[in-house]
Structure 1
């Protein structure tokens, strides 16, 4: 049995519990280790994945690429880290030779602006894996690795779903 077949049922369960009531969330599809979903209220569509081999802790780490039509936001990157980061520790995203520093807050990270979001998504489309790195509260470096197989398709599915509903 492939890893994708093992991960997909767990992933769907995870995505259904993130932020919105299950009745308001529409699953658009699972693509590799990525899923695409649409929420009615507030209207948003997103592609989301968990890092490979993520440890289970107080929260579930993820990386999402979201579209918020009412806010005019498209391709917004959001990372929930697998571990709490040290105060002031930078958070980086690396995809092949591409590297970007995220704006970090607590256990989350975002691209600095829409241009940085677009650059990260463009790199994701051509990469094999995305690596998030930071330093934990214990001072040790940690990495969260996201396979990108299926990411572009999930992002496209989310984009199209929001374009249809506005």
Structure 2
């Protein structure tokens, strides 16, 4: 139950909105809909990164979001644990595949819709994903996420948004 409370807390911090509805907890992932979000309804699956004793500037999490009115589906976003070194590579590793992410500050995204789709497809069958980058001082760091429940949470978020068009 503690993980569920933490995920809800991260969701509240991660995405300001007027009202959020829980669509369920699935393994280490949660699914939420936000029918009154600024800019229109949205839904997302979210998970916190694995705990770490290393320095953190931010609480890291990963999301897969959908904004039906903007025709945006399956957008992958990572909030990383540290401020990023400008223009340094950000790499997602999952099931032996590497994806070059884009980002800045403490955030990273897929480079385009095609990469979003490839990452989501890999998330459905992988057990874990890890993002590696360099922090603002040039030190390397990684954040890892369990993918237990990710596929179901992503599906729940997509179904949740199908009702919010």
Distance 2:116 2:160 in 1: 19
Unaligned ranges ≥5, structure 1 = none
Unaligned ranges ≥5, structure 2 = none
Distance 2:76 2:100 in 1: 12
Distance 1:115 1:131 in 2: 19
What SS does the aligned partner of 1:165 have? coil
Poorly superposed stretches of 4+, deviation over 3 Å: 54-58
Distance 1:58 1:105 in 2: 14
Quick check: which one's helix share is greater?
A: 1
Q: Is the 8 A contact 2:33 2:41 kept in 1?
A: yes
Distance 1:131 1:57 in 2: 16
- 1:28-84: CA deviation from partner (whole Å, max 9, x where unpaired): 111111110001123000001110014674432211000010110110011111011
What SS does the aligned partner of 2:116 have? helix
Inter-CA distance 82–29: structure 2 relative to 1 (3 Å threshold): same
Q: Is the 8 A contact 1:90 1:104 kept in 2?
A: no
Distance 2:55 2:86 in 1: 22
Aligned to 2:47: 49
TM-score by length of 1: 0.90
Aligned to 2:31: 36
Mapped pair 1:69 → 2:68:
yes
Distance 2:127 2:108 in 1: 21
Of the three residues 4, 10, 20, the one matched with 1:8 is 4
Aligned to 2:139: 140
Cα RMSD of the aligned pairs, angstroms, is 1.5
What SS does the aligned partner of 1:115 have? helix
